[in-house]
Structure 1
Amino acid sequence: MFGRRRVEMVVREAPPSKARALWTDGLGTLATRSIQIIAVVVLAAGLVFAYQSLTVVVIPVLLALIIACAFEPVMRWLRAHLNATLGTVLLLLGIVVVLGGVGWAMVWAVRSQWDELYESAQEGFQQVLAWVNTLPFAPDQEQIDEWVAALTDFLTSAQFGSGAVAGVSWVANFVTGLVLMVVVLFFFLKDGPQLWAFLTRPFEGEWYGRVRRAGTKTVETFGSYIRGTAAVAAVDAIGIGIGLVILGVPLWFPLTLLVFLLAFIPIVGATVAGILAALVALVANGPVNAIIVVGVVVLVNQLEGNLLQPVLMGRALKLHSLVILIALTIGTVLGGILGAILAAPFAAVVWGIVQVWDGPHTPARWARRKNRAIEA
């Protein structure tokens, strides 16, 4: 009988192949990341191409989604107290009548005095240019003409005006998009939870919870952003409108309506509305009155940004100004004015999803605050 032996087997790893070694060093890691970035860019380009090709479908669906999120608390109450179909019909009729009526009245009021408003703003702009020409460091007239021509070309270009209402058949596109938006909004309001449950079926485990949190955060963010922005825009319009009336600025009513509309474009909208009001005041009442108008606009915007906006929209939705400007630029290039309006809420939704990526109150790993001890 043989004694017990301990047999030791030494398993030697095969040396890595040359091809594998090329992808495991620093340059290989960089190449791998580059390929991943290229894949993401190609995917993003495909999505942008699909969006631009199906604008008449995409924009109404997005608008219906945003409006449905804004009225989600009302719809939840109607589901609890009324039949789902009846509650949806009543809410949809209310949305169409109120938003449609208010929008039509505002557009009609602005258009009825648009010619006079445009002439006043243009005359004020010419006065500002004449004053600039008196400065020792002022650009020459040829440079000013080039800047004005470039700005005019951009504002009137098809790229800036692209969207659901652009092109030769803009009337047909608008009517088609409006009908589609109303129909899609009806189903979003009525069957929103069921539709979302259907879309989440392919996900399981951790990814199911992640997708559910992302959906809930999207509805909360869109709803809070739209309701808060509408309230802030109304306060801005009322405050600036009262200031224009007290200062005796003509065309105060269309200017007030423009303040409300442009307030949905953060940062840029308030600036444009303030410049327009100051130009009208400059022509009608002189430079001192125009400077006071600028002061009123700045004061109202500061009160709104530092006091009202955090209360109505929450600090979680307050994005950095640089992020908003980048989002506005991308939105304007892709969707014109409508893209500029939708850019900020979509950026807020993306950041909100990042904040709940790994848990209800746990951001994605790369977005978490780092607690680094400060070494002496």
Structure 2
Amino acid sequence: MASTRYVAEGGRRHSTWQDGLGRAGSRCAQILLLLTLITVAVYGLLQVRLLVIPVMIALILAAAIGPFVNLLRRKGVPGALATGIAFLGLLVLLGIVTTVIVLAVRSEWDELVAAATQGLDELEAFLLTGPLPVTQEQLMEGRQAVIDFATSQQVRSGALTGLSAATEFIAGTTLMIVVLFFFLKDGAKIWNFLLRPFKGRREAKLRRAGRRTLEVLGGYVRGTAIIALVDATAIGIALLILQVPLAIPLAIIVFLGAFIPLVGATVAGVLAALVALVANGPVVALIVTIIVIAVNQLEGDLLQPIVMGKSLELHALVILFALTAGTILAGIIGAVLAVPLAAVAWAILQVWTAEDPRVEDLNPDLPPAGSEPT
């Protein structure tokens, strides 16, 4: 056969795949096959994203809440009751946050509309009398363009798309809640069932990979929540002092935005600055911008290294690539999930290749962590 053809050269026999070009071709074929499998897998998962995304979110939340459930069990609380306490506590917390946002928006809506009208008039006057070469005709054209876009067919079709997305959101949220309950209640049984086909060394590695997955996900969620709480508290207090409308909802948006690394808190801070610009004028908006920048610097230089520790051992460039890929594949929810999933993938790879110093028990021939090569 052509693939195993041998050529006689100086009394020796050589395979056509053993020279440099053959080895390169074999490696390229392997890479292409791997990329094809990954592409098909990603495409298949996207087709059932209404199932995959709720399961991923439930797994991340279970990893974060799991230690609390285990603590209750060690205190003598029955497993079902401990799961119910943690589960209901999470639902109550989400309900409180939603109620606070709705009540704050409802109570300050009239004030915001009045302040926005006055702020837009001040902004228009600043643009006409300021250093920028803007004329009244250009402002009128811009206003008309906004009105035309708001009443266009594109916006109406987008509203229908939004209705469909809302229906999917409700269905996905319901599924996530159910899956989360069973992950908290029977997570160990589910994992043991999945590992039944594996024995010996491979089973040990898979169990270690599972523990590292829970450690990375739990540490990431808890650390990010602490950092987000600090960001939201600092910016919320500043907004209250400056009397910016919707200070509490904006602080909650900052908290949620912090779960998108690198860009989430910044975008939420920009939104707060825009509200301050419209409602309070450019001076207050500039102060809010300075506060947002200072808080982001505090987060990046102090909070991230101290709070997160080694739960997210990824370079900033890898995080940026993961955010971009997640956003392209699944939008905002993809951006939220991309970084912890990338961290989990890296942790599992370290366990599987014995590069994690905490897997020496699985590799008796591995030298001690930190030892010099001989």
TM class, shorter-length: 0.7 to 0.9
Mapping for residues 191-340 of structure 1, pairs under 5 Å? 191-340=186-335
Alignment partners' CA distance in 1, 2:31 and 2:109: 47
Indicate yes or no: 2:73 matched with 1:76: no
CA displacement at 1:307 relative to structure 2: 1.9
Alignment partners' CA distance in 1, 2:225 and 2:287: 26
The one-letter amino acid of 2:227's match is V
Alignment partners' CA distance in 1, 2:336 and 2:127: 33
- TM-score normalized with structure 2 length: 0.76
**In terms of mean alpha carbon deviation, does 266-275 or 202-211 score higher?**
202-211
Is the Cα contact below 8 Å between 1:213 and 1:360 reproduced in 2? no
Comparing both structures, which one devotes a greater share of its residues to helix? 2
Partner of 2:5: none
Indicate yes or no: 2:64 matched with 1:95: no
Alpha-carbon distance change, 244 to 69 in structure 1, aligned in 2, over 3 angstroms: same
Alignment partners' CA distance in 1, 2:22 and 2:230: 56
User: CA deviation digits over 1:88-114, x for unaligned, max 9?
Assistant: 222222222222432454366458868
The one-letter amino acid of 2:236's match is G
User: CA deviation digits over 1:141-166, x for unaligned, max 9?
Assistant: 9xxx9xx99xx9xxxx9xxx9xxx97
User: CA deviation digits over 1:300-328, x for unaligned, max 9?
Assistant: 11212222222222144153221111111
The one-letter amino acid of 1:345's match is P
Is the Cα contact below 8 Å between 2:63 and 2:214 reproduced in 1? yes
Alpha-carbon distance change, 24 to 351 in structure 1, aligned in 2, over 3 angstroms: same
Alignment partners' CA distance in 1, 2:174 and 2:68: 22
Alignment partners' CA distance in 2, 1:114 and 1:202: 59
How high is the sequence identity, in percent, across the aligned residues?
49
Alignment partners' CA distance in 2, 1:135 and 1:321: 37
Mapping for residues 149-168 of structure 1, pairs under 5 Å? none
Is the Cα contact below 8 Å between 1:110 and 1:257 reproduced in 2? no
Alpha-carbon distance change, 346 to 286 in structure 1, aligned in 2, over 3 angstroms: same
CA displacement at 1:249 relative to structure 2: 2.8
Indicate yes or no: 2:45 matched with 1:48: no
CA displacement at 1:338 relative to structure 2: 0.7
Is the Cα contact below 8 Å between 2:116 and 2:279 reproduced in 1? no
CA displacement at 1:184 relative to structure 2: 1.4
Is the Cα contact below 8 Å between 1:355 and 1:362 reproduced in 2? no
CA displacement at 1:196 relative to structure 2: 1.1
Alpha-carbon distance change, 98 to 282 in structure 1, aligned in 2, over 3 angstroms: closer
**In terms of mean alpha carbon deviation, does 239-248 or 203-212 score higher?**
203-212
- SS across alignment from 2:13: coil
The one-letter amino acid of 1:194's match is K
Is the Cα contact below 8 Å between 2:227 and 2:304 reproduced in 1? yes
**In terms of mean alpha carbon deviation, does 166-175 or 38-47 score higher?**
166-175
- SS across alignment from 2:314: coil
Alignment partners' CA distance in 2, 1:223 and 1:174: 24
Is the Cα contact below 8 Å between 2:104 and 2:246 reproduced in 1? no
User: CA deviation digits over 1:240-287, x for unaligned, max 9?
Assistant: 111222233333223212211211111111221222222233334443
The one-letter amino acid of 2:97's match is V
5+ long unaligned stretches in structure 2: 1-9
5+ long unaligned stretches in structure 1: 1-12
Partner of 1:7: none
CA displacement at 1:360 relative to structure 2: 5.0
The one-letter amino acid of 1:86's match is L
Counterpart selection for 2:345 from 347, 350, 367: 350
CA displacement at 1:130 relative to structure 2: 6.0
The one-letter amino acid of 2:357's match is H
Alignment partners' CA distance in 2, 1:90 and 1:284: 42
The one-letter amino acid of 2:13's match is P
Superposition CA RMSD, Å: 4.1
CA displacement at 1:371 relative to structure 2: 8.0
Alignment partners' CA distance in 1, 2:19 and 2:132: 60
Alignment partners' CA distance in 2, 1:332 and 1:93: 31
Is the Cα contact below 8 Å between 2:108 and 2:245 reproduced in 1? no
Partner of 1:16: 13
CA displacement at 1:239 relative to structure 2: 0.3
Alpha-carbon distance change, 275 to 44 in structure 1, aligned in 2, over 3 angstroms: same
Mapping for residues 101-112 of structure 1, pairs under 5 Å? 101-106=96-101, 109=104
Is the Cα contact below 8 Å between 1:233 and 1:261 reproduced in 2? yes
